[in-house]
Amino acid sequence: MPPLEGLKVVDLTRVLAGPFCAMLLGDMGADVIKIEEPGAGDDARAWAPFVGSWSSYFLGVNRSKRSLALDLKTARGADALARLLAAADVFIENVKPGSLDKLGFGREAVHALNRRLVHCTISGYGQTGPRRHLTGYDPIVQAESGFMDITGMGDGPPVRTGVAITDYMAGLYAFGGILLALRSRDRTGVGEHVDIALFDAILSTLSMPAGILQATGRTPHRMGNDHSSIAPYEALRARDGMVMIAAANPRLWKQLCGAVGARHLVDDPRFLSNTDRVKNRPALKVELERVFSSYSVDELIDVLHRASVPCGRVRDVAEALADPQVEARQMLLDFHEPDMQGLRVLGNPIKLSADGARPWRRPPRLGEHTREILEELGYTREEVAAFSMSR
């Protein structure tokens, strides 16, 4: 039995952070009901590129769910949501703070409806504080949090990450927060409010630059692929490409030098300690890349792996997904749907020894399970038909 078998989750989220969190719960056995606006649905359904009629973006974070199309501004839609929440274990929403209050589904109203319900809100800046009313988008939060300012090359402008890292971080924190709240409910019988902010989530990753600021009084600057406190711990050039090196302690530094025939660097006064190597990083790079120039990337990685020095090729996404490790870890999934044309989506990284993730449902079509879910809620066939007519 999957660990979350029997858990009912109402997912009133769209785009990324919330859908990602709900997908993780669904992968672990929860019955996730995704509520979408009739006609349009989740914004991400319309985002290119497409595989057949499917948005590849939407497919990536919406498996293991059922889709219920509801217009919450109508009496029927509000009644259906109320019935769902009364019988649910978890309610996840990323609606702008205050918006659900206007529809009668604010925090207090939902708690009164079902005191055991765990209510998770995901927003840009959280439910408290002077910024709580602002809408949060990943690039804005990356910029506002200082995350962009430490990302990029030292002589270039601030750069956002290539993926919406604040959304993924918030989704993961929401997943963990929900499980904690469910554990608390086991003891108290009362569901808690889990308040997750994209801003908080990305700030939590800045422990090292924040520590530098606190210790020195100086704002950390962009360092590109270099590490502020360790060297060599960066991407270095071999004859035909780049290799990421992580010689994070004196033992690994000596093993690196020995493996590539550069033992003289161990006794070089400029590189005796890690502090010396960080201070003299430009000279260190010159010396190492001079040695590495006689190796192809494959040769260098082979030599360093045999010496137990952590390293890796700087790959593109296609090269990474072709690694046999991906298949071995079931990190690409195929739902074998003809209209998905063989598209594979990323798997669940949480591996449990007994019974873990089961991505048991392909991503749903908009409103695909509306009739099924409404009938489960006790609506008659005539009432279900009336829902269809009102959309």
pLDDT band at 336 (very low <50, low <70, confident <90, very high): confident
pLDDT over 60 (residue 250): yes
pLDDT band at 52 (very low <50, low <70, confident <90, very high): confident
Give ranges for CATH 3.40.50.10540 in the chain. Answer: 8-204+326-390
**Strand 118-123 relative to strand 242-246, pairing:** unpaired
Strands, E assignment, 174-291 = 193-197, 233-237, 242-246
The pLDDT tens digits of the residues spanning 108-157 come to 999 999 999 999 999 999 999 999 999 889 999 999 999 999 999 999 99
The structure tokens listed for 3 are 């660990």
Residue 227 a catalytic site member: yes
284: CB partners within 8 A, 6+ apart = 231, 232, 270, 271, 277
Q: Taking residues 238-250, what's their average pLDDT? A: 96
The pLDDT tens digits of the residues spanning 162-214 come to 999 999 999 999 999 999 999 999 999 999 999 999 999 999 999 999 999 99
CA end-to-end span of the chain, whole Å? 38
pLDDT over 80 (residue 359): no
Q: Taking residues 353-370, what's their average pLDDT? A: 84
The pLDDT mean for the chain works out to 94
Q: Rounded distance, CA 221 to CA 3, Å? A: 44
Assigned CATH class of 8-204+326-390: alpha beta
Cβ atoms of residues 195 and 201 within 8 Å: no
Give the active site residue among 111, 133, 193, 227.
227
Give ranges for CATH 3.30.1540.10 in the chain. Answer: 233-314
Lowest mean pLDDT among 97-101, 115-119, 198-202, 233-237: 97-101
pLDDT at position 390 is: 55
pLDDT band at 328 (very low <50, low <70, confident <90, very high): very high
- Please say whether the structural domain 233-314 has been given the CATH code 1.10.8.60: no
Cβ atoms of residues 44 and 57 within 8 Å: yes
pLDDT over 70 (residue 356): no
* DSSP string computed for 137-175: -HHHHHHHTTTGGGSS-TTS-----SS-HHHHHHHHHHH
Q: Taking residues 251-280, what's their average pLDDT? A: 97
